[in-house]
Every structure is written in structure tokens, then in C-alpha cells.
Structure 1
Amino acid sequence: MENAYSYQRRLIWALVSVAAGILIAGFWNYHLVDGFGRNIVSGKTIGDSAELAQSFSMNGYGFGMLFAAVAGLAATFTACNCVVFSMIPSLTCSNGQSPVKTALRSLLVFSAAVLLISAVYGFIVGLLGKAYVEQLNVREVRLLQAQITFSLLGIAMLVWAALSFGFLNRMVRRLPERLVLFFSSTSAKAGILGVFVGLFSVGRPFPVFRDFLTYAVASNNPLYTAFVMCLQGLGQIAVMVVLMVLLAYLFRRKIISWMETRPHQPQLVSAIALAAGGAYFLYYWGIGRLFDIGSWGFKLGWY
């Protein structure tokens, strides 16, 4: 991308992306988005998640698997997940390779990373037990956990965006060539993105997810909690997986032509998504809450 765009043009794209992320964060209406997941996705399928959270003794292990999948699907369009959709171009484009094969390989690595983080977090939470989850679910605690997790993810995404835009090339040139080539590969990017998405569950304050977590730990079985957490992880990426495969299959010829004629553009799209997403996370969960300069729509009385 350094050869395709001047430094000034890349800087403008980066600043506009960051500004867009902050603008979205300032006007984000979490009541609307969370309400869709809670009232429509969860409410129309399994019922009131708050009531179901305490029903393990009655509904058992099998229902917990359904609860996990629904909790994941309900979180699909929360703020945490939306930026992932913008990363699809970079995960389906690889020079000289079929978009379908590239997408499937990327999805395999991406999903494996999501499952790994989900399993580890689920096992730890299951091991610590119900009392620990009750402490986590206290509003002040879960918001603090979200604030720390997503602020750190925001910083990581902004650094990744700076690398993608080519702003840190001098530093990159000092690194071993094999290391640079490895992290430049589509599979490595898919793995890193999968780790990020897996960590969404660590910070997610979404009520349906917290209710699911309460239900899962009531089993007093860390292995079961890890298993259903993996199902929740798959649920939250299910829509992206289907969309990615469809796009790669239906538009494979156009994607190949795109890569041959404008190989720098998929990288630009990903860099923009990372910059906007990172700025969103850092402002919404970090700066905005720390200094009380967020929630513009609520403060203006628009919603």
C-alpha cells in the first residue's frame, strides 16, 4: 500500500477512519442494538434470558447448549462484533489463490482461535464457580471488565491499523524477514482476528451473555462450561462465516480480478476497518467513559 498511496493520502484515510469510529462511538445506541439481541433473537427463541439464567436444575445440560448458541447469535450485531465484518475482504483475498480456498482456510484458523480463547475462558470461569460469576455480573464490575478489555483491544487494533497503513515500516524493517512474512500472511491475520473475537467474550457486558454465563457455571463442571462457551463463540461468528463463504463463492471471479488489478485495496479496506474499530473501542469503552465525554445521543436527548 506504501507504493499505491502517498503518505499524505494514507494519513488522511487513517484520520477519517479514526474520526468515523469516534463518531459512531459517540452516537452508539446500545439500548437499540442490545434490545434487538435480547428481545428478538433471544426472546423469540428461548424466552427471557434473565429468568432462564437460574433454571439449570430444571432445564439441564442440553438446554445449556441451545442457550449458548442463542447467546452467541444475539451478540452478532453488538458493537463488539460489527467491525469483524469489515475484515472479510482481507480474509478472502490472497494473490494467486482461489478466494473460496482462501476463505475456507482463513475461517478454519479464525474459528480455531475463537474456540481456543472461548474454551480457556469458559474453563477458568467454570473452575472459579457461581460465586465468582455473580461478582462479575455486578454492573460496576462487568463494566470495568469491559472497559479494560475493549480499551486494550482498541489500542491493539490501532497499532495493527498503523502497520497496515505502512506508518511503522521503519520499525518493521528491523524485524526478521521470516517473522514479517508470517504475520503478513492471510492465515496469521485470521488467527489474530480470531483471538480478538475470542476475547470479546471476556469483556462483553451484554445481558444475554451474562445470563448464559450464570446458567453455564451452575453446572459446577468446568469442562461443560468450556464446551458451551465454545458453542457461544461459534454462535457469535456464524453469520460472518456464512456471509464470507457466500461472498467468496458468488464473487470469486471479481475478487480474483480485483486482486490482479488493485492488490492494495483489500489491505486499505482492512486498515480502515481496524482504525475505525480500534478508535471505536478505545473511545467508547476507554476515553469516553473515563472522562464522561461519550453517549452523545443520550446527552442530547435523542434517545
Structure 2
Amino acid sequence: MNLANESIPGEFILLGFSDRPWLELPLFVVFLVSYILTIFGNMMIILVSRLDAKLHTPMYFFLTNLSLLDLCYTTSTVPQMLINICSAQKVISYGGCVAQLFIFLALGCTECLLLGVMSFDRFVAICRPLYYAVIMHQRRCLHLAAACWISGFTNSVLQSTWTLQMPRCGHNKVDHFLCEIPALLRLSCVDTTTIEAELFFVSIVFLLIPVTFILISYTFIVQAVLRIRSAEGRRKAFGTCGSHLIVVVLFYGTAIYMYLQPPSPASKDRGKMVSLFYGIITPMLNPLIYTLRNKEVKCAFMRLMARSSWSQSKDYKGRLFI
């Protein structure tokens, strides 16, 4: 315990790709543009889903949760990345590193579970349409969303604590853009086999079990959709499910590669790029996928814009007659 306490530094150095300075400007542009698009896209989905009464359904309730999660997810890491790229000293305080590790992990685990719940919602809507209102009532939706958030944050407390308790013997150079478990474990000066096994087991629970559940749900969904006689009905069903399935593949594919592969020195750079993909690119793509492939969201956005334009025009005409 004394060794662990003595190894707590005042700050961590986030190396990122500091050994390749020519990459910093392109990365800064990518991070900044991605972050702006993420903020705008997810805020738009949240506002449209809340302000348009036609979107007050379980599907858009969970989509709003996903957008809020992605907003917080990127905000916990991207601003610090932008600051470090522009700075000669690429540091983060110990407290900042702990907060980043906890929030990033908590929201990542929450998204794993939330995507599973969203697949259950689509399963009930398509395979049990007559019972949809009974099964996916407002109270149950609130309970399912709350369970995802609480489970994600509870797991983060455990994994963050295990990771931070590992003695580092003064090592504080993190070979990554952010404070993430695999990168922090590499700082440890003791054998990490036991904690890696524990973290691997937890990763299976939060990654492979939801993925298995999603695949089973979509097996039944595809069977039900193929039985729909109307071509328009099949197109609409595949459209709403297709958006969710694309998000699932992007998020789970990269997260599984990052957390369920055996650690090796050769995979460090690939791991950095993969974590950037599911931590920055995927939250930016989510609103684009759901809006470009979803007619209801596009129509709701147009109604909101038309209502806003009409309100401004009415207010302008009112001032003219005063």
C-alpha cells in the first residue's frame, strides 16, 4: 500500500503521437471538426426529440439518452486533447486523469448496455407490435435507461479503483491521448496478470453479452421483417433497424478490438487509433446515421425549422405594426 501511495504523481504526461510531430496539425483539425459536429448533431437530436410531440416514443427516448451520452463522452476527453496538441507540455493533472478515466469508462459501459436496450425496443416494436405499448411503457423505459446509467457508473468505480491502485513506482508517461485503462496498466511496475484477467472478465460482461443479445434480437427481427408483405413496411423496418445496427457495428467492433485483444507492444499505436475512433469518430457519426437514414427525424427537424421561421416572421411583422 505504501508503494502504491508513493507512486501517485502530481501529473501525467500524455505522449499521444508526440514522437511524430508532423501528425499534430492534422489530428488537431480532425479532433476539432469532429467535436463541433458531435456537439451540433447530438444537440439537434436532443432538441428535435424533445420539442416534437410525434417523437415522444420509447425509440427516441433511448436515442436522446444516446445523444446525451455521446455529448458527455467526447467532452470528457476532446478538449484536453486539443489543449495538449497545442502545448509543448502535454500534461494532465492526477485529478484530471482520474476524472477522465472514470467518466470515459462509465459512459462507454453505459453505451454498451444502452445499445442492447435499443435493440430490445426494436425487437418488441417489430416482433410484438400489438403488445408494444404495454411492454415499453414510460415507466419501464425510465427503469431500463436508469439501469444502464447506474450499471455503467458502478462498473467504472470498480475498474477505475483497481487500475489506480496498481503501483507505478513514479512512472507517469502515458503512451496515449487520454487516461484509459490499457495505457495506465502499462505504467505499473508489478505483475498485472490478475487485474488484467479481472478486467477481461468484466469486458466480456459489458461487451460480448450485449452483442450476443443484440444478434439474437436481430435474428428474430429479420425473420419478422421478411414476413411483412408490404415492401414499404419492410423498407421502413429495415431503415430504423439499419441505423441502430450500423452504430452497433462501429462501437462494439472497435471496443472489442481494444479491450478483448491480448496486450502487445506492436498493438499500441493501433490501439490509440482504435480508441480515437470509438471515442471521437463514432459519437460524431451517430447523429449523422440516425438523421440521414431516418425520415421521421428529418421531417421533425424540418417542422421545427418551419415553426421557428414562422415564429420569427410573425414577431417581425408584429414589430412593424407597432
TM-score norm. by structure 2 comes to 0.31
Larger relative CO (CA 8 A, sep 6+): 1 or 2? 1
Normalising by the residue count of structure 1, what TM-score does the alignment of the two structures yield? 0.32
Highest CA radius of gyration, 1 or 2?
2
